Amino acid sequence: MVQNNMFFLLFFAGVILIIDYMLPNKKRVPFLSIVSFLFYFICDKTMLLLLFGIILVSFMLGLFIEKSKSKRLQKIYFTMGIIACVCIWCIFKYFDFFILNFINLIGVVKAENVKQPISLLLPLGISYYILKVISYLTDILKKKIKAEENFFNYALYVSFFPQIICGPIERPQVMLEQFRQGLIYKKEVFFMGCAKITEGVFKKTVIANRLSGYVNIIFDTPDAYPSLALWMAGFFFTIQLYCDFSGYSDIAIGICDMFGVQCSPNFMNPLLSKSIKEFWRRWHISLSTWLRDYIYIPLGGNKKGKWRHGINTLTTFIVSGIWHGTGLTYIIWGLYNGILNLISSGIGRKEKNIQYNKKNFFKTSINFILVMFGFVFFRSADFHLACRFFMKMFCSFELNMNAIVNSILPFTMDYNCASYFLTVIFMIIILYVREYRVYYGYTKEYEKKLWPAVFLILTLFLGFFGEDSFLYANF
């Protein structure tokens, strides 16, 4: 699908970049806002009117909130906007889920026998741009920002095409201020953007795409493979999801850099974290901080006692699970991470030692395994399949030559599986070395040019270009 195609995004960005460079500074924001609507029309033309309507109505509500002298009116306008956003999102994301479960509940006919009477296609990027709109209206009500009076500025903030597919979810004060001042191109920022794009394409094509086939086979039919294969699938899915999503974030942020739009980082080497709390400070940062600022803190944060802090934390993580998808597995994934976060808060202190040593390596390894267990629920089609997956992992583990061969075989289903497996492992090690040096602050100046060159060469020779869709575009 074109809306989820990495190469279409890069091609589109390249063409628009050439035109944009020829325009005067004052015309760049209006041009990019119109172009973003064009991009959305090409990708999801049936939902363009929905996007435009949400932008127009929220733009007007923002002005009404700011200019109303009555606090009561301000809250009414704000409430209208938030309810509308949440309802629209729930209708598109959960309509089928609720209908099928309602049919199953009343017992007239089994849900599996229903051919989904009404199947609502999820509009491209709705889970991301709805959060942008909510944060915009909330910040105006709290007087953190002023309502944007330039429609093009606001439209570009909500619909900027590199971010519309799956984020990052940038804050209004960060982007709107840049648009008001005008987009200025800097040579060094442009090349930084190119380097980020190169790393993102490497993560996506060389690692994530190569792992997807193996992960899909094992998770779809866990009973057909030895328990070692299930452990490997859990490990590889964690790597795949990270490389897929952080790869897209690198590409999106890199494109933004090339257009002169500075964005906050969305991932900061999360798989090297030494605790769950640190992991969530480094994983999908734009969503984690959004949930913190607009869910956790308004609920009271950690300021109202331990019990309230625990409830607020669990609520925030459950909301995160619901945001990611329908089904019990996503709620369990959110609850699981919330419980681990509370345990981490109770027994741990903020890490001060960022030097590599055996103790930190052990903490990182344990934390990775805990994160991986959560992602087993995240990836499983349903709760029962996840339970079967865990039962097979722990109850029938064996390590022998037959188990090893049968665990590697699903990579290609022929004698090439060993070389394919070793190639993937080698690429993961290369990425690990890169992230390890960044995480522990060992990076030298020359590496800023070396790593992009390494990633480019490896992508050209080892890139797997058969699967271009991004996992997080489905959330």
Q: How far is CA 127 from CA 124, 210, 284, 287, 369, in A?
A: 8, 27, 14, 11, 28
Task: Name the strand (E) or helix (H) holding 357.
Answer: none
309 is catalytic: no
CA–CA gap between residue 107 and residue 110 (Å, rounded): 7
Question: Is the CB of residue 29 less than 8 Å from the CB of residue 152?
Answer: yes
- CA torsion 189-192-198-201 (nearest 10°) is -70
Q: How far is CA 79 from CA 86, 127, 138, 242, in A?
A: 11, 19, 10, 36
DSSP track, 233-281: HHHHHHHHHHHHHHHHHHHHHHHHHHTT-----S-S-GGG-SSHHHHHH
Alpha helices in 276-416 (DSSP H): 276-282, 285-291, 297-299, 306-324, 328-347, 358-379, 383-395, 401-408
Query: From the candidates 284, 309, 324, 384, which is the catalytic residue?
Result: 324
Q: How far is CA 154 from CA 7, 55, 60, 265, 314, in A?
A: 27, 8, 11, 21, 33
- CA torsion 21-23-24-29 (nearest 10°) is -90
| Angle subtended at Cα 148 by Cα 145 and Cα 150, rounded to the nearest 5 degrees | 160
Radius of gyration of the chain (CA): 23
CA–CA gap between residue 13 and residue 257 (Å, rounded): 12
Question: Is the CB of residue 248 less than 8 Å from the CB of residue 470?
Answer: yes
CB atoms within 10 A of CB 166: 24
Task: Name the strand (E) or helix (H) holding 182.
Answer: none
Omega before 168 within 30 of 0, i.e. cis = yes
The residues assigned a catalytic role are 324
